[in-house]
Amino acid sequence: MEQSKVTLEIWGWVKSLLIGLAIALFIKIFIFSPYTVQGASMEPTLQNEERLFVNKFTAFTDSFNRGDVIIIKRPEETERYVKRIIGLPGDTIQMDNDQLYVNGEKIEENYLQENRLAAKQQSMKLTEDFGPIEVPTGNYFVMGDNRLVSMDSRNGLGFIEESTIIGKAQFVMMPIKKMRFVEK
């Protein structure tokens, strides 16, 4: 009689652990996942080695917007990239005299103020002129915030297929002193 109580107690703990693991796995695969920033392409918005929570659920709901910071994983590569969406499918993108235009409309990029000042001090443009470029259906045009060093849609990554977007960067969790939401 005593052994069956112990067996039932152990089985109860095993079921609880299995259910907990299944829930954690579901959350990691479909909802949130950690990501570590590698490199300087998103500075000062995101710093090298910061740890992020990535909202993967957005990849299933097609809710990407201009300005979102996303994580990309291309099938032919092992590396992941963190970039900002600049152009949506069907948009026409142009950079003229360090000013972004989307569909002919001037776009303010307040997150670039610090980098623009640094480029100006070096007598450089932060972003070289290009375009107009039309973003194909099912694709996005992305750039890093630190455009002087960023490999992005302008110079190596090309257009980003929607299927390669893992999710949106939502929250910086490490280092703890720099915890914050990722701003658009």
Q: What CA–CA distance (Å, rounded) separates 58 from 18?
A: 27
Q: If you search the block for the tokens 């490199």, which residue do you land on? A: 39
Residue 109: closest CA among 90, 124, 93: 93
User: Which of these is catalytic: 5, 15, 41, 168?
Assistant: 41
Single-letter residue type at 53: F
Backbone Cα Rg of the chain: 21
Q: What CA–CA distance (Å, rounded) separates 169 from 68?
A: 8
User: Which of these is catalytic: 56, 83, 150, 168?
Assistant: 83
Please say if 33 is a catalytic residue.
no
Please say if 41 is a catalytic residue.
yes
Active site (catalytic) residues: 41, 83
